[in-house]
Structure 1
Amino acid sequence: MNTLVLCSPAKINHFLHINGQRADGYHLIQTLFQYLEYGDEISFTPLAQSHIAVQMAFASGEDCGVPAEQNLIYKIASYLQTTYHVNSGIDIRVTKKIPMGGGLGGGSSNAATTLLTLNYVWKLNLSLKTLMQIGETFGADIPCFLIGQSAWGEGIGTQLTPTILDEQHVVVLTPPCLVSTPKMYQHSQLTRNTSSLRIGTLEGLLKNGLFENAVRNDFQQLVCQNYPIVAEYMAWLNQYAKAKLSGSGASIFAIVESEEKAARIMEDLPPCYQAFVAKSVNHSPLHAQLSNLGFFFESYWGVAKR
């Protein structure tokens, strides 16, 4: 098999409520995520020997500075190779476009892309359910990238219900800071008692156009207080459309009504600001690529619904 070059999409969280905390320290959340037609590029080259090589670099060519053995990609490849007695190896090279530490799911997306691709390349024939169980052990955000469809997440984020959302243009800004997710989750001022929504209530809010005023990101105020540069970027973007934090940040985004509006925002962008425009999509671009290669995905839930 020759080298496979695949996408590893980013995601946005349309809202993020923290409803409580389990005895083991994990937080109970509710969120609604959607993919972006924007992401990292990962190449997979099979090796005859059992060596696993991982290299991560930015599009500029600069190394990302993450030792291979500490990378989720390496850990997952090593786990699959050992657990399923794979005799061959793999050379994996990641070109990073998703900002690191931005709350856009780059690391989890890379891990999910690796799981799905190695299942195909190494002919493991693992079901999507099994892959999601494996993914969950490495990170609670990984399953949302494995299922291939926008979804409503509950529990620790791994209880997923399919959702079809409007596909729109999104402007994403990333301030020059790294927000520590563990630090934010452990912060004494974090709201941990937001009332839970029922899925039926969510569907009604979406249908009646009341969604935006009924939800929030429980990290947003805290992150803005602790990282003033995030608050600065949010204030700038709010001039054009409602700005929201994705995940625990630092990236913020705004949904705009047209590609032309997104282009106008980018034209006004201060020179020092890092930003990109992408379309939000309900189905993962990665799954489409793998399907074109002949990889069959069984339905995880059946027919999607809103």
Structure 2
Amino acid sequence: MTQTSLRDCPAPAKLNLFLHVCGRRPDGYHLLQTVFQMVDHGDKLHFTLRSDGLVRRLTDVPGVPEHQDLIVRALHLLAAEFERRHGRAAPGIDVDIDKILPMGGGLGGGSSDAATALMAANHLWQAGLKRDELMALGLPLGADIPFFIFGQTAFAEGVGEALQAVDVPDCWYVVVEPGVSVPTAAIFSSEDLTRNTEPVTIADFSRCLVSQTNPGGFGKNDLQAVAARLFPPVAEAIEWLGQYGKARMTGSGACVFCAFSTESEADEVLSNVPAVRTAWKAKSLARHPLAEVLQVGGVID
């Protein structure tokens, strides 16, 4: 019997354990190096098949019209690929979202939602795309989408799409939401942005982990100084969380994180969070929670 719905599909947040800007291509895109790490905190999506070929987002997302949502745009791309491969229209799908990740937080929320939608619809529609094909489909919409479909902690290069799996120690993170939305374009267009950090290798990152327990202790985030200058709440969050360890901004901001070896250490920090701040803890994820679930259609193979 054909499955008609999927409920409680996780769309985990990601952290950039470091983020270096190593150059700029002639087309203006920046050349990056980073390690992406998923954590067990994020949005949840619910999917129900339709019979009329429509793709609908049933949940209102303030500031994001339905037609502009990465979820909807990604599903339209998958529907077009389905029709090309199978010679008939895709069945259509309804999407509900339990949205908790902040926009402009550097946690990859929109990209993670889109990746989960692609994996779920590929499964429900029996579209038959393999993992690398879904990654290629999502890349034009956002450089983070392929990572979530890749589904493992990854050393990333290029604009973020060239991925190699990398092992990092299990740990707990405390993440502070500064309460501001940081537009990525404003950070990357700043004249003050460092764009010439010397490239590193995956071996450099792995060797560093041998001598320390903090996965966020390698390198730096080249975007952090610009974001902290333009958005003072980011600087304040870094200063506050920095009392407890190596605090660092993720992505282009605004959220700030610090790694801890145990949950009890993370709980101790959370117990000291002032009432004016929003903070939470999350455990590192070695693999995407959907990796072992959505096998049909070759999503992970």
Do Structure 1 and Structure 2 share a fold, with TM-score over 0.5?
Answer: yes
Structure 1 distance, partners of 2:299, 2:68, is: 30
Q: 1:298 to 1:230 in 2, by over 3 A?
A: closer
Contact 2:291 2:300 in 1 (8 A): no
Q: Which residue in 2 is equivalent to 1:218?
A: 222
Name which of 155, 159, 164 aligns with 2:158. 155
Structure 1 distance, partners of 2:298, 2:78, is: 20
Please report how far the alpha carbon of residue 298 of structure 1 lies from its aligned counterpart in structure 2 after TM superposition.
4.5
Q: Which residue in 2 is equivalent to 1:192?
A: 195
Matched, 1:265 2:263: no
Contact 1:56 1:96 in 2 (8 A): no
Extract unaligned runs of 5+ from structure 2: 84-88
Name which of 65, 75, 78 aligns with 2:63. 65
What's the CA shift string for 1:264-283, capped at 9, x where partnerless? 22121111211111001111
Structure 2 distance, partners of 1:206, 1:242, is: 14
Matched, 1:173 2:167: no
Please report how far the alpha carbon of residue 201 of structure 1 lies from its aligned counterpart in structure 2 after TM superposition.
2.1
The alignment-based identity, stated in percent, is: 37
Please report how far the alpha carbon of residue 263 of structure 1 lies from its aligned counterpart in structure 2 after TM superposition.
1.3
- Aligned-partner SS, 1:288: coil
- Aligned-partner SS, 1:28: strand
Higher deviation after alignment, 209-218 or 11-20: 209-218
Q: 1:208 to 1:133 in 2, by over 3 A?
A: same
Name which of 67, 73, 76 aligns with 2:74. 76
Q: How do 1:241-252 and structure 2 match up within 5 A?
A: 241-252=245-256
What is the TM-score of this pair, normalised by structure 2? Answer: 0.92
Contact 1:56 1:66 in 2 (8 A): no
Contact 2:238 2:248 in 1 (8 A): yes
Q: Which residue in 2 is equivalent to 1:8?
A: 11
Q: Which residue in 1 is equivalent to 2:86?
A: none
Structure 2 distance, partners of 1:232, 1:181, is: 19
Contact 1:149 1:282 in 2 (8 A): yes
Please report how far the alpha carbon of residue 213 of structure 1 lies from its aligned counterpart in structure 2 after TM superposition.
5.6
Structure 2 distance, partners of 1:212, 1:91, is: 38
What is the TM-score of this pair, normalised by structure 1? Answer: 0.91
The alignment yields a C-alpha RMSD, in angstroms, of 1.7
Name which of 231, 234, 251 aligns with 2:235. 231
What's the CA shift string for 1:170-216, capped at 9, x where partnerless? 00011111111011001000000000002222222222339766500
Structure 2 distance, partners of 1:130, 1:295, is: 11
Q: Which residue in 1 is equivalent to 2:119?
A: 116
Matched, 1:254 2:258: yes
What's the CA shift string for 1:96-153, capped at 9, x where partnerless? 1112110011011011111111111111101111111111111111111001100100
Residue type at the aligned position of 1:257: S
Q: 1:229 to 1:118 in 2, by over 3 A?
A: same
Q: How many residues align?
A: 292
Structure 1 distance, partners of 2:216, 2:268, is: 23
Contact 1:4 1:45 in 2 (8 A): yes
Q: Which residue in 2 is equivalent to 1:303?
A: none
Q: Which residue in 2 is equivalent to 1:60?
A: none
Contact 2:170 2:284 in 1 (8 A): yes
- Aligned-partner SS, 1:285: coil
Residue type at the aligned position of 1:159: A
Contact 1:16 1:31 in 2 (8 A): yes
Structure 1 distance, partners of 2:43, 2:217, is: 32
Q: 1:105 to 1:150 in 2, by over 3 A?
A: same
Contact 1:9 1:286 in 2 (8 A): no
Structure 1 distance, partners of 2:245, 2:210, is: 21
Q: Which residue in 2 is equivalent to 1:138?
A: 141
Residue type at the aligned position of 2:67: E
Name which of 31, 34, 38 aligns with 2:34. 31
Q: Which residue in 1 is equivalent to 2:294?
A: 290
Residue type at the aligned position of 2:249: L
